[in-house]
Amino acid sequence: MRKLDARGLSCPQPVILAKRAMEQFRDEGVEVWVDTGVARDNVERLARMRGFTVSVRTDGNAFILSVKPEE
């Protein structure tokens, strides 16, 4: 799974980068790292809108969203 580090980026850059990554690596899935609740919610909403499954875990200051194609 590819990793996208969007920590520390202002709105809406995490969403733009995540959208691009989801389109590029649709079959592989992407692990998106963000560090604010806003970015976490926005990326999660985008991924679900696009038909991906999302699971979220935390690692220190970071939220890690595993975005995978629906089974």
Partner 1 sequence: MKYLRNPLVLSGMVIGAIAIALQRLGNPPNMGICVACMIRDISGALGLHRATTVQYIRPEIIGLVLGSTLSAAANREFHARGGSAPLVRFFLGFFAMVGALVFLGCPWRAILRLAGGDANAIIGLAGLAFGIWVGVGFLKAGYTLGRSHWNEQGSGLVMPLLMVVLLLLALFTPQMGIADGARTGPVFVSLKGPGSQHAPLVASLVGGLIVGVLAQRTRFCTVGALRDLMLIRDFHLFSGIVAFFSTALFLNLVLGQFRWGFAGQPIAHSSHLWNFAGMALAGLAFTLAGGCPGRQLIMSGEGDADAGVFVLGMLVGAGFSHNMSMAASPAGPGAFSQVGVLVGLAFCLALGYCMRRTDLGVN
Residue 2 or 53 having the CB closest to partner 1: 2
Per-residue string for binding with partner 1, 4-33, x by CB under 8 A? xxxxxxxxxx-xxx-xxx--xx----x---
Region for 29 from its dihedrals, namely left if φ exceeds 0, alpha if ψ lies in -120 to 50, beta otherwise: left
Element (H, E) at 43: helix 37-49
DSSP code, position 32: E
- Is residue 65 near partner 1 by the rule CB under 8 A? no
Binding site for partner 1 (CB under 8 A): 2-13, 15-17, 19-21, 24-25, 30, 35-38, 41, 45-46, 49, 61
